[in-house]
Amino acid sequence: MNRRTVYLLCAACFLCWPAAALAEQTGNTCNQCHPGQRSGFVEAHSFARDNCTVCHGGDDAGLTKDESHIGMTGFPGLLENAGTACGSCHADKVASVSNSLMHTGRGIVQTTRAIVDGTNGEAGNLQSLGHGPADSMLRKLCASCHLGQGKTAHKLDPVRDRGGGCLACHINSYPINAHPALTKNVSDARCFGCHSRSARISLSYTGLAEIDPGSAAERESRLRLPDGRHVERKPADVHYSSGMRCIACHAGSDLMSGAGAAVHQRDVVAARCVDCHSVDSTPGQPHGPEHERIECATCHSQWAPQCFGCHMEYDADGSQWDHIEGRETAGRWNERRSDFRNEPGALGVNAGNRIELFVPGMIMTLAHPDWDDSKFLRVFAPISPHTIGAARSCDSCHRSSVALGLGRGTIEYRDNDIYFAPEYPPLPDGLPADAWTSVDGTTGGQTPRDGQRPLNKEEMEAILTAPIP
């Protein structure tokens, strides 16, 4: 046998060598093409470095790229495949997340339908929206954050990075030439993408306040978010300044729970201020019985983001991205916002008959071709601004028309009555542009839920006449 024959026989043997034998020599065949991906794992998921198919699917015995990638997914944490990927170890968590408020958005759906369509506020979910005015608005403007949104890019944008099922929270980085580390220690940046609009909680917590588009402050601001919004610095939450992350108070059991019969996220948050802080209930002191109806955040919130000027109009001839269908569809909602304020909000009464901060959720004119006339909406909602700090001054409540829900202006109590001269002219409902209610309580905006209301006249009088140091 000559040398050439020997070489040919050796080559033939190599080509016929079973893939299993090759894998035995070099490790999982996925790693023959992706060697760098063997690093980056936290200990809890280190098993996956040599068994990629556990999460990603595919065929680790495939001899070609096409064979190996059959049935594979690049994003195993998406809710559409989390049941077989993450669910192979975390079946209970995946089932719970699929019914969580962060995915279904039951509260958002209920509130928007009640206010925009004037229905009884059916608590549907974002995945089964119709095409009426309220549902259309949710599809085009509000559904980008729910966990069912797919993730298609290997990048993390702290403002625009939303959706992605389990990956939305549990991937904190995409390192170069390494596998992302899946971790239960969710970073604040993962909260930021979804919670920096509407109530703007993530912005507020870090001491960033959105400012009025086109205002002098906006033009002078050098702070700009990746989505184009201008912000200014405000006092951050004391918990943020002390190094506490969102998950210090918002545990996974709150966020990932199926929530049972709960419709709104605030109903499932277990953390309370008294879990860590004791209060002195001595009469005449800040925490005395005269303030026992007041929620902690009502006094200790340094400021709250608020927008008092908004117009929303539906353009049937336009088109806009539909976050549920995942494509551009007919119809466009055009929103104009103005008159941003970052200051303490109005006092109101929550469903538990306690005094809480309220801010405008909607003060807007809304137009849609299904309606004969446009609608004017004035809706105030309770908020925990996440701007906790030293208590606000006594004057800021007891001598403030803004705190009473009347808006800016001049207020005084004389001859056993309240006299108020508003700074802003009235809007179509007769109230000033920045008000929630009238002095006599006969005119007022809506609230998103039963049991919530602005202060009545008796409560206003009690606040204005209370002696203060």
Count of beta carbons in the 10 Å neighbourhood of residue 280: 8
Count of beta carbons in the 10 Å neighbourhood of residue 402: 23
Long-range contact set of residues 461-468: C-beta below 8 Å, sequence gap at least 24 = 461/413, 461/418, 463/347, 463/397, 463/398, 463/403, 463/404, 464/398, 464/399, 464/404, 464/411, 464/413, 464/418, 465/413, 466/290, 466/398, 468/394, 468/395, 468/398, 468/399
Q: What is the DSSP letter of 445?
A: -
Separation between Cα atoms, residue 250 and residue 270, nearest integer Å: 8
Helix (H) or strand (E) holding 365: strand 355-367
pLDDT at position 23 is: 41
pLDDT per position in the chain (469 positions), as tens?
Answer: 555 544 444 444 434 444 444 444 445 678 788 887 888 888 888 888 888 888 888 888 888 888 889 988 888 889 888 888 898 889 988 888 888 888 888 888 988 998 888 887 667 788 889 888 999 999 998 888 888 888 877 778 877 778 889 988 888 888 888 888 888 888 898 888 889 888 899 999 999 999 887 777 777 777 888 888 889 999 999 999 999 999 999 888 777 876 666 777 788 888 889 889 888 776 766 787 888 899 999 999 999 999 888 888 899 999 999 998 989 999 999 988 888 899 999 999 999 999 999 999 888 888 888 888 888 999 999 999 999 999 999 999 999 999 999 999 999 999 999 999 999 999 888 999 999 999 988 777 888 888 899 999 999 999 999 988 7
pLDDT at position 61 is: 82
Longest dimension (CA), the chain: 121
pLDDT at position 63 is: 83
pLDDT at position 209 is: 93
**Domain residues of the chain, as ranges?**
16-72, 272-465
Separation between Cα atoms, residue 418 and residue 280, nearest integer Å: 33
pLDDT at position 145 is: 87
Separation between Cα atoms, residue 347 and residue 230, nearest integer Å: 28
409 by Cβ neighbours in 10 Å (0-12 / 13-18 / 19+) ranks as middle
Full-model pTM: 0.86
Euclidean distance between the first and the last CA atom of the chain, given in angstroms as a whole number: 109
Q: How would you classify the pairing of strands 230-233 and 375-382?
A: unpaired
**Residues 6+ positions from 400 with CB-CB distance below 8 Å:** 411
Separation between Cα atoms, residue 135 and residue 128, nearest integer Å: 9
Q: What is the DSSP letter of 466?
A: S
178 by Cβ neighbours in 10 Å (0-12 / 13-18 / 19+) ranks as middle
Radius of gyration of the chain (CA): 28
Instruction: Give the CA dihedral 229, 232, 238, 242, nearest 10 degrees.
Output: 80
